[in-house]
Structure 1
Amino acid sequence: MSDLPADVAAAEARRRADKDAPFLAAARGEKPSRRPVWMMRQAGRSLPEYREIRKNHGMLESCFNPELLAEITLQPVRRHDADAAILFSDIVVPLKAAGVDLDIVAGRGPVVEHPVRTQEAVDELPIVEPGQLDSIVEGIGGVLEGLRNDQVLIGFAGAPFTLASYLVEGGPSKNHEVTKALMYTHPDVWHSLMRRLTPTIVRFLQVQAEAGVDALQLFDSWAGYLSARDYREFVQPFSAQIFDAMRPYGIPMIHFGVGTGELLGEMALAGPDVVGVDWRVPMDSAAARISAALQEAKPTAEPASRAKALQGNLDPAALFAGPDITAENVARICAEADRAIERGQARGHIFNLGHGVLPNTDPDAITRAFEEVHKR
């Protein structure tokens, strides 16, 4: 440890999960003691205990309050026996912390008061400072105190394209037409915006890593709206910079986007250890796409470097179909992932949904799904 930079060494000292925790073993491509499972948005509106807290506290208030952040993050872990907690946060948290004028509006999502569409607006965009994230560091400490040693905490950040889209559109968009128009007509402004956002995302993740999280997920919500060509030109280089910056911390890094079946190979080439797969692509097919892309990019590399661990990919709606259907889908997905591992096209499998838990999901259905996964 003495040969590591001070911040990286301090981060390693704060991590308390066992090296052979199921999540970490699967991410490394080793045989875990049980198949690890967690679910995106597992901390949220599906839980009555979460809804009780949110009666009196706004979303962003909850993200920046250390006690609430820790409690909300731990609620699903306690209820469902999850192998990982995902830090309760939102994609726009680092922007809010930096001073961007935005809010999360009920029924709509993040809304930016002054959209960023010119070079002047890009130049005025603040970059987050570590001291602006102290409450999140404190909250992470509370989460770590509440986890078993075989459970991990996953840090979280939105990827540059998704953050840029919120800033350019001024809020959520169905078609991202303003974002794409800026990319196509003013690529210099677009690339400047991405270069401006990347340090904020890196700092947000570094603060989490140095506070003791065991893994990281870079979530590109809207990347699935892009063609592979546009992704390579306008997005991938910046996501790759983030993974490169975080690699010295030595913790597993996940990359996930919705509707990104055609981008899986490109996302894998950005540099994560684990690639998340949504429910539209079978796990073994996803692994084949990723392996082929890695092999094409690195034809002389060792076979082991042509595979990534996989995360996914139960359809969130399947949890509404009853326990038998859920069990059938869990068995199918695990079998697909296992086939990919046997073929050498995947290193390991972390079970998850193909997106996030839907708000009206019965919490007991989630618990049963976790139990089914742990049988496999």
Structure 2
Amino acid sequence: MAHEFEPLKNDLILRTAWGQDVERAPIWIMRQAGRYLPEYHEAKGKRDFFECCRDPEVASTLTLQPIERFTGLLDASIIFSDILVIPQAMGMVVEMVDKKGPHFPDPLKSPDDGQYSKVLSKDVDVAAELDYVYKAITMTRKKLQGRVPLIGFCGAPWTLFCYMVEGGGTKLFIESKKWIYRYPEEAKALLQKISEICVEYLALQVKAGAQMIQVFDSWAGELSPSTFKKFSEPYLAYISKHLPTKLKEMGLDVVPMIVFPKGANYALDAVCNLGYNVVGLDWVIDPAEAVKIRGDRKIVLQGNADPGVLYGTRESIAETVKEMVDGFGGGKKGWIANLGHGITPFVKPDDLKFYLEEIQRLTSR
């Protein structure tokens, strides 16, 4: 049964993503709901991070906090969740360790490891395993009352694969590289399995009320141009090709899709051909250069200020915003304003507010 939601009052980001001319650039920020906000810590209380994700009421409250704090300055909300819910659904244990981040006590060591066969052969009931995410999405969409659209997301197959074999965050990617250079076929089998789960997971998010989706390939930049072509690109393309088909089969409208391959600017030209409506950019590419690479393709770009500018003076924030707005062509078409990655800890909410106001001021002219 389809959910009943209030009509959308602000569809700016959706019109932009579909390639329409708009009155100004829409704005949202990766990790806009999170630890830089004092109200986040209050609502989170003593719960650990994954407990917050698994409690639809808490996840929904956290999602709405930036929308309520920065009234009229954000043009989208993004569901409070985590990319690692997919490995959890696949039967892997993931813990959030304080001051260290996610930890897999039993990562996938090699194809001979019994854990690899178990994960690969597990028939994942995506609807049941991740039901708490869909509940949070439906609840949030109702509470939004049409103020702004709600974005759903997943981790990209390559990024999830890295976590599953490394056992957590890493600087060296030793295990990931071992897999792709020693066991490329087994790595591809796992990447394919993750891709299929991503498609179903995203489709069910749309069914629950998500109006746009983003695929986060946070560790794309660890691949070389040739390994990106083998171990990331085909699986990103699989999602963009199969998600619209799946949505139509379910009787749902197709939604705009964003891909964010952080660090893979060498592949921007190829990424613009992967079938996504929007390509997210990190902060180490010049906006004007990205616009040039895109050329006349009907691709919308998203990004891309250095998140670290939010630690700077108001003057440096204003200067960065101006360079970004000019580089992306003024904001009346083809650009969604964002940072080049998520908000980093200890950013003062008022400095983010100034950043958002500056973008709105310069793109509304």
TM-score, normalised relative to structure 2: 0.90
**Aligned residue in 2 for 1:334:** 325
> Partners of 1:123 and 1:199 in 2: how far apart?
17
> Partners of 1:338 and 1:209 in 2: how far apart?
31
> Partners of 1:83 and 1:14 in 2: how far apart?
21
Q: Give the C-alpha shift of residue 324 in structure 1.
A: 2.1
**Aligned residue in 2 for 1:62:** 52
**Aligned residue in 2 for 1:97:** 89
**Aligned residue in 1 for 2:266:** 262
> Partners of 2:229 and 2:239 in 1: how far apart?
15
The equivalent position to 1:202 in structure 2, one of 193, 199, 202, is 199
**Aligned residue in 2 for 1:73:** 63
**Aligned residue in 2 for 1:283:** 287
**Aligned residue in 1 for 2:310:** 319
> Partners of 2:230 and 2:129 in 1: how far apart?
32
Describe the superposition over 1:258-280 as per-residue Cα deviations: whole angstroms up to 9, x where unpaired.
22221222322222110001111
1:151 maps onto 2:145 in alignment: no
Q: For 1:237-248, list aligned pairs within 5 A.
A: 237-248=234-245
Describe the superposition over 1:5-27 as per-residue Cα deviations: whole angstroms up to 9, x where unpaired.
xx9xx4xx756563971101111
Q: Give the C-alpha shift of residue 241 in structure 1.
A: 0.8
> Partners of 2:125 and 2:191 in 1: how far apart?
14
Q: 1:335 to 1:171 in 2, by over 3 A?
A: same
1:110 maps onto 2:102 in alignment: yes
> Partners of 2:282 and 2:203 in 1: how far apart?
27
CA contact (8 A) 1:159 1:239 kept: yes
CA contact (8 A) 1:15 1:213 kept: no
**Aligned residue in 2 for 1:298:** none
Q: 1:200 to 1:309 in 2, by over 3 A?
A: same
**Aligned residue in 2 for 1:166:** 163
Q: 1:17 to 1:314 in 2, by over 3 A?
A: farther
CA contact (8 A) 1:217 1:255 kept: yes
CA contact (8 A) 2:60 2:139 kept: yes
Root mean square deviation, CA, Å:
2.0
CA contact (8 A) 2:281 2:340 kept: yes
CA contact (8 A) 1:122 1:196 kept: no
Q: 1:240 to 1:179 in 2, by over 3 A?
A: same
CA contact (8 A) 2:87 2:164 kept: no
Q: Give the C-alpha shift of residue 289 in structure 1.
A: 2.2
CA contact (8 A) 2:10 2:148 kept: no
CA contact (8 A) 2:221 2:261 kept: yes
Q: 1:173 to 1:17 in 2, by over 3 A?
A: farther
From the two aligned structures, give the one with the greater helix fraction.
1
The equivalent position to 1:124 in structure 2, one of 106, 118, 140, is 118
Describe the superposition over 1:93-147 as per-residue Cα deviations: whole angstroms up to 9, x where unpaired.
1222343212121222221121113334333114342012222222112211222
CA contact (8 A) 2:9 2:148 kept: no
1:44 maps onto 2:30 in alignment: no
Q: Displaced runs of 4+ in structure 1, greater than 4 A?
A: 13-17
Q: 1:266 to 1:108 in 2, by over 3 A?
A: farther
CA contact (8 A) 1:112 1:170 kept: yes
Q: For 1:296-375, list aligned pairs within 5 A.
A: 303=296, 306-338=297-329, 348-375=334-361
**Aligned residue in 2 for 1:253:** 257
Q: 1:213 to 1:89 in 2, by over 3 A?
A: same
> Partners of 1:203 and 1:100 in 2: how far apart?
18
1:222 maps onto 2:219 in alignment: yes
Q: Which amino acid aligns with 1:355?
A: H
> Partners of 2:301 and 2:5 in 1: how far apart?
23
> Partners of 1:315 and 1:29 in 2: how far apart?
25
> Partners of 1:149 and 1:54 in 2: how far apart?
25
> Partners of 1:22 and 1:351 in 2: how far apart?
12
Q: Secondary structure at the match of 1:99?
A: coil
Structure 2 residue runs without a partner (length 5+): 248-253
**Aligned residue in 2 for 1:87:** 79
CA contact (8 A) 1:224 1:263 kept: no
Structure 1 residue runs without a partner (length 5+): 1-6, 292-302
Q: 1:290 to 1:226 in 2, by over 3 A?
A: farther
| Number of residue pairs the alignment of both structures matches | 348
> Partners of 2:173 and 2:307 in 1: how far apart?
24
Moved more, 34-43 or 259-268: 259-268
> Partners of 2:84 and 2:20 in 1: how far apart?
34
> Partners of 2:173 and 2:225 in 1: how far apart?
16
How high is the sequence identity, in percent, across the aligned residues?
Answer: 34
> Partners of 1:265 and 1:16 in 2: how far apart?
39
